[in-house]
A and B are shown apart, each in its own frame.
Chain A
Amino acid sequence: MAAERVLTFNPASPFAMQSPLSANLTKNHFELFDIPITFDIDNEQLTARYRTLQRMFHPDRFAHTTPQEQRLSMQYSAQLNDAYQVLKKPLNRAEYLLTLYDVSNEGHTVTDGEFLMEQFELREQLMAIRKHDDGADQLVPFSTQIQQRLTTLMQQFSEQMRAKNLERAQLTLNRMQFVTRLLDEIEALEEELC
């Protein structure tokens, strides 16, 4: 094992002064692509703008320029990638949107007893499918059913956000997270059975 390197916090380090792109680094993900701050984004518009900006500012466009410009383009391009990943996926977008409204993500789950019970039952169903001989066949309609459940929740979330009912939206987001996790488990089982 090579010796451990020691780093020291140095307020006078040249890196400490890095203030590039100050205007852009403080932008939120929606502003970065200049699209409205809403859950109901236009996916095609988002993708088109992401691609246009990457085409112009990707580090490959700066490979022959000064080290500073190369660093700036790397930072900006990384920021575009990160923001695009978050906005592209509905669940991530919903989570991110609520952080912009400063809504805490904690303390809501335990009160949602009815929903938890339903989730518990769905999970039991999944266990039963796993044990069943023709589980792979049963999994398909089950997966479709849960997928529809997620779609419904996303519609609810969208309506609640439009009505600026953040508390309800937070609750719906928690449900979306649960259902998404269930879908991940279904997918894992799909692999197992195939």
Chain B
Amino acid sequence: MALLQISEPGQSPDPHSHTPSRKLAAGIDLGTTHSLVAHVADGKPVLTAGEDGAPLLPSAVQYCADGTLTVGHQAQQNAISDPANTITSVKRLMGKSMADVDHSVHVTYQLITAESGMPLIRTCSGDVTPVEVSAEILKTLKRRSEAAQGGELQGVVITVPAYFDDAQRQATKDAARLAGLNVLRLLNEPTAAAVAYGLEKGSEGIHAIYDLGGGTFDISILRFSRGIFEVIATAGDTALGGDDFDRLIVDWISTQAGLAIATPSAALTAQLLSKARAAKEALSNQDAVTITIDLSNEKSDSTSWQGTLQRQTFDALIAPLIQRTLRACRRTLRDAAITTADVLEVVMVGGSTRVPRVRQMVGEFFAKQPMVDINPDQVVAIGAAIQADTLVGNKPDAEILLLDVTPLSLGLETMGGLVERLIPRNSTIPASRAQEFTTFKDGQTAMAIHVVQGERDLVDDCRSLARFELHNIPPMVAGAAKIRVTFQVDADGLLHVSAQEQTTGAYSAIDVKPSYGLAEAEIETMLRDSITYAEEDMESRRLKERQVDAQRLIEAIEAALDSDGDALLAPNERVVIESAIAALKQAISGDSHHAIKIATDTLEHDSADFAARRMDASIKKAMAGHTIDEFSNDSAAR
């Protein structure tokens, strides 16, 4: 990317100068160690810098006793003096139960187990969930982008590791909601990177995106062909990244210095981590680095320790971790049914790909020089910004389409603790699959459904996503009831489950809220309690949100009526929709968010059939079109 701009807050052009039709959107890379926000201005992606002039925001949040908090560089600097209240690498905790958390990981803050089994972080201003901590990072980025763009964001694209499971994705979306962000899409990080590269280079063919960040690793194999990015296969490890390199250095220092690592003080741990990170970064440009550890505050014979870490030693330390990433690479190639020879280019993403040994081993594995043209820290945010600009509606004739996949298989528990797989891994999303189940006792009126995610055959070896029970099944003899359970994975990679009793048509649906996720009520409470919202009136905030949503709905439906109302609606049908619009307009001018909600629901309900007919009509038109030009765009290129 030749001329990548970085805009300073407050330095943006006159906020009112942009055309009114242009909607403000942003792409957010919510990383383990760093986060970034970018947007598209004048057709070019721009990274937004913070007050310090740098686009990277350290993903660190410090909670202070007086209830205030700091986010970013300041918090990262305070991590050494106030390690217990400064939260770093919170992404590693997202969507996890306490049992999932890797306890070998050195954290400087205190984790406790909530009643729900979820981890909570104990700070001096109270216990906080990982979702809330992430929300604080998102709020900072939101403010940054809104200041730079001079207006409120209508929607954002937030990137997640491709290998994030349903619970981790849901947690990310919950954090966005807490931050007051409208999520247009959760986008997989390697796919975002491919967008940034693809638009720049326009090279058709198969690409491997090797994404090693601070705490997560992804490998995605994509085919870029005639404007469509198609992810063929993806694999990864959501608990492997540069943080682990740092920890290996910490362990090395501890051994060399003869420190008892069983119970290092929080301050020493923080110091070791910080020195280790600095050493790792230095070794990207030099062959050896001298490390000095201040032990004056520790129960130690000496007041400091000094040693030299050779790059060769470091390379040997991290080699097993790189091998782990290469095993995942091998698996994706197999899943994609290709060999390294089929891969045109290997794109390196994530700060940890700066480590020379990583580049070397990946290059040897794929037998080609990896591409590092775009700053590996920034490429994901750039891709996200480009996609956000498209999704928010600024580019109606966008020529690029992303087809992504679900990284892990989704299934149900069946008799004997076995998994019945409904949606296999690497299925293109959105995906939908249905399966019929029946009762096994006479008169059975309820059924338990256990949703799991993973590749193993036994339920116990997979991730439990959700359990729910179906009730009110009409009593029948065993085996007579036909319950059709449908799994639907949306374009964010989130699972929705619905069930229908086929003989009576009774229907039930659930958005899968992971077993280790936040309940709807908890999010509501957090929204109410959250710091920014406390500053303004919750009621008026909600009223405004509802008004904006309602206005958007009215505009969309009026536009639809203009173009298709005459063709697709009988006069009496049109009247029903028009009066629902009138009722909603009336409600908007009032001050009851409740009334707006009711009128919005009514309008959505009354126009549902119209929406379906429009979709049917445009599909019919598309099908008719191919007989004339035989889908010219796609077939002509052959």
Could you list which residues of chain A lie within 8 angstroms of chain B, going by C-beta atoms?
Answer: 1-2, 4-11, 13-24, 34, 44-45, 47-49, 51-60, 63-69, 72-79, 81-82, 84-85, 191
Q: Please tell me if B257 contacts chain A, counting CB pairs below 8 Å.
A: no
Q: Is the CB of B226 within 8 A of A68?
A: no
Question: In whole angstroms, how far apart are the Cα atoms of A52 and B629 in the complex?
Answer: 12
In whole angstroms, what is the CA distance A54 to B431 when docked?
A: 13
Partner of B391, one of A9, A63, A85: A63
Once the chains are docked, how many angstroms separate the CA of A20 from the CA of B508?
17
Extra pairs beyond A2-B513, A60-B185 (4, CB < 8 Å): A51-B228, A53-B622, A65-B556, A66-B611
Interface: B619 (CB within 8 A): yes
Closest CB in chain A relative to B631 CB, distance in Å: 5
Q: Are B506 and A54 neighbours in the complex by a CB distance under 8 Å?
A: no
Contact B490 A9 (CB under 8 A): no
Chosen A-B contacts, 26 in total, with CB atoms closer than 8 Å, are: A2-B116, A2-B515, A2-B516, A6-B468, A7-B470, A9-B472, A11-B505, A13-B507, A15-B508, A15-B509, A16-B505, A18-B608, A34-B626, A47-B634, A52-B622, A54-B401, A55-B228, A55-B401, A55-B633, A60-B185, A66-B607, A67-B604, A72-B611, A75-B488, A76-B615, A82-B431
The residue from B488, B507, B635 contacting A74, defined by CB atoms under 8 A apart = B488
> Taking the complex as formed, is B201 at the interface, i.e. its CB lies under 8 A from any CB of chain A?
no
- Residues in chain A near residue B516, CB distance under 8 A: 2
Asked if A19 and B507 sit within 8 Å, CB to CB, the answer is no
Report whether B631 and A49 are in contact in the complex, using a CB–CB cutoff of 8 Å. Answer: yes
Given A66-B556, A81-B427 in contact, is the A6-B471 Cβ separation under 8 Å? yes
| Contact (Cβ within 8 A) A63 B392 | yes
585-638 of chain B: CB within 8 A of chain A: 604-605, 607-609, 611-612, 614-616, 618-619, 622-623, 626, 631, 633-635, 638
List the 6 shortest-distance A-B pairs measured between CB atoms, nearest first: A64-B393, A9-B506, A78-B432, A20-B612, A63-B391, A48-B634
Query: For the complex, what is the distance from the CA of A66 to the CA of B612, rounded to whole Å?
Result: 12
Of the stretches B4-12, B342-350, B496-504, B575-583, the one at the interface is B496-504
Contact A2 B616, CB 8 Å, known A16-B505, A34-B626: no
**Chain A interface mostly helix, strand, loop or mixed?**
helix
CB distance from B427 to the nearest CB of A (A): 7
| CA–CA, A58 and B227, complex, Å | 14
Q: How far is the CA of A116 from the CA of B618 in the complex (A)?
A: 50
Report how far A13 CA is from B427 CA in the complex, Å: 30
CA distance A191 to B553 in the complex (A): 54
Instruction: Tell me, in angstroms, the Cα distance from A45 to B472 when the chains sit together.
Output: 46
Q: Is the CB of A81 within 8 A of B401?
A: no
> Is there an interface contact between B501 and A7, defined as CB atoms closer than 8 Å?
no
**In the bound complex, do residue B401 and residue A68 qualify as a contact, i.e. CB atoms below 8 Å apart?**
no
B466, CB-defined interface residue at 8 Å: yes
Partner of B616, one of A4, A15, A16, A21: A21
Chain B residues with CB under 8 A of A4: 448, 467-469
Picked from B390, B402, B556, B634, the residue with its CB within 8 Å of the CB of A52 is: B634
Tell me whether B334 is interfacial, beta carbon within 8 Å. yes
Contact between A10 and B633, CB atoms less than 8 A apart: no
Q: Tell yes or no: B361 within 8 A of A by CB.
A: no
Q: Are A1 and B392 within 8 A (Cβ)?
A: no
CB of B626 within 8 A of CB of A72, answer no
The reply to whether B615 and A20 contact each other, CB–CB distance below 8 Å, is: yes
Q: Which of B184, B519, B605, B631 contacts A14 (CB 8 A)?
A: B605
Q: Could you say which of B402, B488, B498, B517 contacts A60, with CB atoms under 8 Å apart?
A: B402
- Closest chain-B Cβ to A56's Cβ sits at a distance in Å of 6
- With A55-B401, A191-B334 as contacts: A68 and B608 at CB distance below 8 Å: yes
Q: Mark B202-241, 1 if CB is under 8 A from A, else 0.
A: 0000000000000000000000001110000000000000
Chain B residues with CB under 8 Å of chain A are 23, 116-117, 155, 184-185, 226-228, 334, 390-393, 401-403, 427-433, 448, 466-473, 488-491, 498-499, 501, 504-510, 513, 515-517, 519, 552-553, 556-557, 604-605, 607-609, 611-612, 614-616, 618-619, 622-623, 626, 631, 633-635, 638
Take A2-B116, A15-B507, A59-B430 as given contacts and tell me if A9 and B611 are in contact as well, using a CB distance cutoff of 8 Å: no
Task: From B430, B501, B509, give the contact of A78 (CB < 8 A).
Answer: B430
Are A58 and B626 interface neighbours, CB within 8 A? no
Q: Is the CB of A74 within 8 A of B490?
A: yes
Of all chain B residues, the one with the shortest Cβ separation from A194 is B330
In the complex where A2-B116, A60-B391 touch, is A8 in contact with B430 (Cβ < 8 A)?
no
Minimum C-beta distance from B496 to chain A (A)? 9
Give the residue name and chain of the B residue nearest to A55 (CB).
B401
Interface contact B508-A7, CB-CB below 8 Å: yes
Q: How far is the CA of A49 from the CA of B417 in the complex (A)?
A: 41
- A16 and B472 CA atoms in complex are apart in Å by 14
A84–B427 alpha-carbon span in the complex (Å)? 11
**B638 proximity list for chain A (CB < 8 A):** 44
Contact B616 A23 (CB under 8 A): yes
Q: Chain B contacts of A2 at CB under 8 A?
A: 116-117, 513, 515-517, 519
CB-based contact B472/A72 at 8 Å: no
Residues on B with C-beta less than 8 A from A22 are 612, 616
Which chain B residues border A49 with CB–CB below 8 Å? 626, 631, 634
Chain B residues near A54: list those with CB within 8 A: 228, 401, 403
Contacts of B403 in A (CB 8 A): 54, 58
Q: Is the CB of A48 within 8 A of B635?
A: yes
CA distance A19 to B610 in the complex (A): 11
User: Would A10 and B508 count as touching, CB distance under 8 A?
Assistant: yes
Question: Nearest B residue to A67 by beta-carbon distance?
Answer: B604
Please indicate the chain B residues that have their CB under 8 angstroms from the CB of A52 in the complex: 622, 626, 631, 633-634
Query: Does the CB pair B616–A24 fall under 8 Å?
Result: yes
Smallest distance from the beta carbon of A26 to chain B beta carbons, Å? 12
In the bound complex, how far is the Cα of B253 from the Cα of A170, in angstroms?
Answer: 67
Q: Which residue of B lies closest to A73 (CB)?
A: B615
The answer to whether B510 touches A5, judged by C-beta atoms less than 8 angstroms apart, is yes
B468 CB contacts on chain A under 8 angstroms: 4-7
Residues in B neighbouring A79, C-beta threshold 8 A: 432
Bound CA–CA A8/B605 (angstroms): 21
B507 CB to closest chain A CB (Å) equals 4
Report chain B residues within 8 Å CB of A7: 468-471, 499, 508-510
- Nearest A-chain residue to B489, judged by Cβ: A78
- The answer, among B23, B469, B505, for a CB contact under 8 Å with A6, is B469
Contacts of A68 in B (CB 8 A): 604, 607-608, 611-612
Q: How many Å lie between the Cα of A60 and that of B507 in the bound state?
A: 28
In the complex with contacts A5-B468, A6-B469, A7-B510, A60-B429 CB distance below 8 A: no
Distance, CA A17 to CA B506, complexed state (A): 10
Chain A residue numbers with a CB within 8 Å of B23 are 64
Q: Which residues of A contact B615 (CB under 8 A)?
A: 20-21, 57, 69, 72-73, 76
**B446 and chain A: residue at smallest CB distance:** A6
Residues of the B chain whose Cβ atoms lie less than 8 Å from the Cβ of A58: 401, 403, 491
**Nearest CB of chain B from residue A182's CB, rounded to whole Å:** 17
Min C-beta distance of B465 to chain A, whole Å: 11
- Please report the C-alpha to C-alpha distance between residue A113 and residue B111 in the assembled complex, in whole angstroms: 63
Q: Tell which of A17, A68, A72 has the most Cβ of chain B within 10 Å.
A: A68
Once the chains are docked, how many angstroms separate the CA of A84 from the CA of B430?
13
Q: Closest CB of chain B to A22's CB: distance in Å?
A: 7
Instruction: Tell me which of B116, B433, B508 contacts A13 (CB under 8 A).
Output: B508
Instruction: Return A69 CB to nearest CB of chain B, in Å.
Output: 5
